[in-house]
């Protein structure tokens, strides 16, 4: 057999790495981090330009930087890292070989060529069409071609992931159902397949339009189909980062989900309904009926929101149960006070969870309500919302996972451990504040994507209140703090991977699978029937219950405050 089936067991974590999978995970993660570096530098430039007192870049450079920032962060950084997570969740967690590593390398190089081509088109200066690239605003054909190549590579990688599930099942490397974290990765991969297919449906004709082979693309048709790609790509992130939350809870605390059934059902709700939320981008568009808008954004999306609330409850709940079983059982919050706040994997994950729920989640539901959407449509509130979901939620969760992967995957000690302790706080809290003040300014009507919020020289100028300028200033200062946090992350990861002290793996050896290295199936242990005497008043996780009630109260208050606000900005008598 020419199949490479080499495995390595990590002495510290006990994880089994298939060597070709390990290499692919590393390369995808590194490609992601390089994209993060480029996107991070651009983030600083964009932030300093939107700061009214600074206005760093001229308009053409601003739109170029904003386009490249959106693509490098929302597409390249996150999807490269997600592919690494998919390979990890399939090959490493199922302890099986990666299906078709050669095809996985083809996928990787397609993604690299696609990302470079797209960046080349943007930096050339004639493709400053923003992340959304709405027609009839046209970009250079290489812009679309790069995205298509990247999407094809990512799609192939998703099928390598599904193939690995088949390999694991066929070679009986696990018993019963796949682990919950892998199930979350399946959810992410399914959403990715839909996302990429939708991208192909719209980007291929747009590419043909850009080279003159198609005469016209209807702008509303473009927007409708494009958002099935554009927004769903962010739903891949949600599924992936929720999986990372579960993984980190298990790694740091040995926490088991409070109810596997409930958590898996929540992931199924994501599979069925999460992508439909794309419709909230079209709530102000004529041509689509309220039936379509309300079904997709309200009825269906709320089921996906329910799933997020389930995850937001079960992850801290599982941590609380694990902590209480270790003896931190006093009062409501001893488990939380005595959590390892100096461990960046935990602190990053927890800030990600709280920030995603309180800022990204609540604002997302508000935006997804057709009437309320009118208050903030196309204002800077929108990027405020998605920086809370994609940056605080996804990026910070991925950063938290990196601190675990450096010693286990890259076999290096984490450099600058003192800085690593602080990094999630600087980045996470900076980004939370950034999102809050963006949303605040957006509520006052400050437009998104605009180089000059003062509309200097416009025929119909608009005077924003001083508070809007103040909020934009605080937003920029918070953004700079987050960029510093991002720089800390890059210094730690790049330093550790290239210059960190090597961790020797004494039992690392190449062994053909026929000699017994394919891990034998291990019967799944019976689930414990109870949690003993932990908790308060019959609740095993009372602290999480209190947190959930605080969340619900905030949710309801914010929702109704916005209805009240709507009645003042849109007086009907």
Partner 1 sequence: MSQVPASPAPADDDMHDEPVPMMQQLIDNPFLLLFLGVAMPTVLYIVWGVMEIVGIPIAK
**Binding footprint of partner 1 on the chain (CB under 8 A):** 162, 165, 176-178, 183, 186-187, 189-191, 193-194, 197-198, 201, 218, 220-221, 224-225, 228, 232, 264, 268, 271-273, 275-276, 278-279, 282, 287-289, 292, 295-296, 300, 523
CB 229 to partner 1: min, Å: 10
- Determine phi and psi for 100, rounding to 5 degrees: 45, 70
Q: How many residues does the chain have?
A: 573
CA distance 524 to 119: 47
Angle at 424 between CA 10 and CA 401, to 5 degrees: 25
CB 174 to partner 1: min, Å: 11
CB 264 to partner 1: min, Å: 5
Nearer to partner 1, 93 or 488 (CB): 93
Nearer to partner 1, 194 or 539 (CB): 194
Nearer to partner 1, 107 or 178 (CB): 178
CB 155 to partner 1: min, Å: 12
CB 529 to partner 1: min, Å: 16
CB 114 to partner 1: min, Å: 22
Helix (H, G, I), strand (E, B) or coil at 455: coil
Q: Are 160 and 84 in contact (CB under 8 A)?
A: no
CB 267 to partner 1: min, Å: 8
CB 215 to partner 1: min, Å: 16
Q: Are 32 and 80 in contact (CB under 8 A)?
A: yes
Nearer to partner 1, 154 or 441 (CB): 154
Nearer to partner 1, 113 or 262 (CB): 262
Angle at 293 between CA 289 and CA 298, to 5 degrees: 145
Q: Are 370 and 298 in contact (CB under 8 A)?
A: yes
Angle in degrees, 0-180, between the axes of helices 344-355 and 417-443, rounded to the nearest 10:
10
Nearer to partner 1, 189 or 431 (CB): 189
CA distance 434 to 428: 10
The closest of 392, 389, 448 to 235, measured between CA atoms, is 389
CA distance 111 to 104: 11
CA distance 424 to 488: 9
Nearer to partner 1, 197 or 546 (CB): 197
Helix (H, G, I), strand (E, B) or coil at 96: coil
Nearer to partner 1, 265 or 467 (CB): 265
CB 165 to partner 1: min, Å: 6
CA distance 256 to 246: 8
CB 523 to partner 1: min, Å: 7
Helix (H, G, I), strand (E, B) or coil at 17: strand
CB 301 to partner 1: min, Å: 11
Q: Are 204 and 148 in contact (CB under 8 A)?
A: yes
**432 membership: H or E segment, kind and range:** helix 417-443
CA distance 50 to 447: 11
Distances (CA, A) of 194 to 186, 189, 231, 559, 567: 13, 9, 11, 31, 38
Helix (H, G, I), strand (E, B) or coil at 411: coil
Cis omega (within 30 of 0) for bond into 351? no
């Amino acid at each position: 057999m020419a199949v490479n089936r080499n495995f390595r067991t990590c002495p510290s974590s006990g994880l089994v790495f298939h060597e070709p999978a390990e290499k692919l995970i590393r390369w995808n993660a590194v490609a992601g981090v390089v994209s993060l570096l480029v996107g991070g530098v651009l983030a600083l430039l964009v932030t300093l330009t939107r700061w009214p007192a600074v206005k760093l870049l001229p308009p053409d450079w601003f739109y170029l930087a904003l386009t490249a920032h959106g693509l490098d962060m929302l597409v390249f950084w996150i999807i490269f890292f997600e592919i690494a997570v998919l390979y990890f969740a399939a090959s490493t967690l199922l302890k099986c070989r990666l299906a078709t590593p050669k095809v996985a390398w083809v996928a990787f190089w397609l993604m690299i060529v696609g990302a470079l081509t797209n960046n080349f088109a943007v930096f050339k200066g004639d493709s400053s069409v923003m992340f959304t690239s709405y027609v009839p605003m046209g970009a250079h054909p290489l812009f679309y071609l790069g995205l298509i190549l990247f999407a094809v590579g990512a799609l192939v990688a998703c099928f390598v992931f599904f193939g690995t599930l088949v390999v694991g099942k066929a070679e009986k490397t696990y018993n019963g159902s796949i682990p919950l974290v892998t199930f979350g990765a399946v959810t992410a991969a399914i959403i990715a397949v839909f996302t990429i297919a939708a991208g192909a449906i719209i980007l291929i004709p747009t590419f043909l339009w850009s080279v003159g082979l198609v005469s016209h693309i209807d702008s509303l048709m473009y927007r409708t189909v494009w958002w099935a790609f554009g927004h769903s790509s962010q739903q891949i992130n949600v599924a992936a980062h929720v999986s990372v939350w579960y993984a980190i809870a298990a790694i740091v605390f040995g926490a088991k989900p409070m109810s596997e059934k409930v958590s898996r059902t929540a992931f199924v709700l994501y599979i069925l309904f999460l992508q439909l939320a794309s419709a909230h981008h079209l709530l102000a568009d004529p041509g689509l009926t309220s039936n379509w808008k309300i079904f997709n954004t309200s009825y269906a999306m709320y089921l996906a929101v329910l799933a997020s609330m389930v995850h937001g409850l079960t992850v801290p709940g599982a941590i609380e149960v694990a902590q209480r079983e270790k003896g931190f059982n006093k009062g409501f919050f001893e488990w939380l006070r005595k959590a390892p706040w100096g461990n960046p994997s935990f602190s990053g994950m927890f800030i990600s969870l709280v920030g995603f729920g309180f800022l990204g989640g609540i604002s997302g539901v508000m935006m997804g309500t057709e009437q309320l959407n009118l208050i903030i449509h196309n204002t800077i509130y929108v990027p405020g919302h998605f920086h809370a979901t994609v940056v605080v939620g996804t990026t910070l969760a991925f950063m938290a996972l990196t601190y675990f992967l450096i010693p286990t995957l890259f076999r290096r000690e984490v450099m600058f451990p003192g800085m690593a302790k602080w990094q999630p706080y600087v980045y996470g809290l900076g980004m939370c504040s950034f999102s809050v003040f963006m949303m605040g300014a957006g509520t006052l009507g400050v437009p998104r994507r605009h180089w000059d919020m003062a509309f200097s020289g416009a025929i119909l100028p608009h005077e924003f209140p001083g508070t809007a300028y103040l909020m934009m200033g605080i937003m920029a200062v918070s953004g700079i703090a987050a960029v510093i946090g991002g720089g800390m992350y890059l210094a730690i990861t790049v330093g550790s991977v290239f210059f960190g002290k090597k961790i020797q793996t004494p039992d690392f050896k190449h062994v053909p699978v026929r000699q017994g290295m394919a891990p034998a199936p291990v019967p799944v242990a019976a689930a414990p029937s109870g949690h003993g005497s932990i908790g308060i008043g019959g609740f095993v996780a009372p602290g999480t219950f209190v947190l959930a009630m605080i969340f619900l109260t905030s949710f309801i208050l914010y929702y109704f405050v916005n209805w009240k606000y709507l009645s003042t900005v849109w007086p009907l008598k």
